[in-house]
């Protein structure tokens, strides 16, 4: 959860100085505070979010390494078969 320092009193006083009525200035200041708090709560990552993402990245890296190993084995097998085929073809001719 993110926090933000928002001086509602100062904001309301600025609105009043600009000609807004005191009740309306207070209401607007409180509404803006609530909107900012909600925006921060929904858009900032928490430590739990980061930890969950790190675990997913670790899992992804593990799967990627496994696929890389399988691909290396398949490529090696393919090359062995290709070399065997080439040697067979060369013996025939």
The per-residue pLDDT for 3 is: 62
Could you give the CA distance from residue 80 to residue 6 in angstroms, rounded to a whole number? 69
Q: Say if residue 12 is exposed, middle or buried (CB neighbours under 10 Å; 0-12, 13-18, 19+).
A: buried
CA distances from 28 to 5, 35, 63 (A): 16, 10, 51
Residues 30-87 have pLDDT tens digits of 999 888 888 777 666 789 989 999 999 999 999 999 999 999 999 999 999 999 999 9
Q: Which residue has the tokens 């290709």?
A: 82
The per-residue pLDDT for 74 is: 97
Q: How is residue 13 written in tokens?
A: 């006083």
Every domain of the chain and the residues it spans? 1-44, 47-93
Q: How is residue 17 written in tokens?
A: 């100085």
């Amino acid at each position: 959860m993110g926090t933000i320092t928002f001086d509602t009193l100062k904001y309301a006083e600025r609105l009043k100085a600009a000609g807004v009525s005191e009740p309306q200035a207070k209401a607007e200041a409180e509404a803006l505070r609530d909107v900012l708090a909600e925006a921060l709560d929904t858009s900032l990552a928490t430590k739990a979010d980061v930890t969950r993402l790190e675990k997913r990245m670790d899992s992804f890296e593990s799967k990627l390494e496994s696929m890389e190993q399988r691909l290396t084995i398949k490529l090696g097998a393919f090359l062995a078969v290709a070399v065997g085929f080439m040697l067979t073809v060369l013996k025939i001719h």
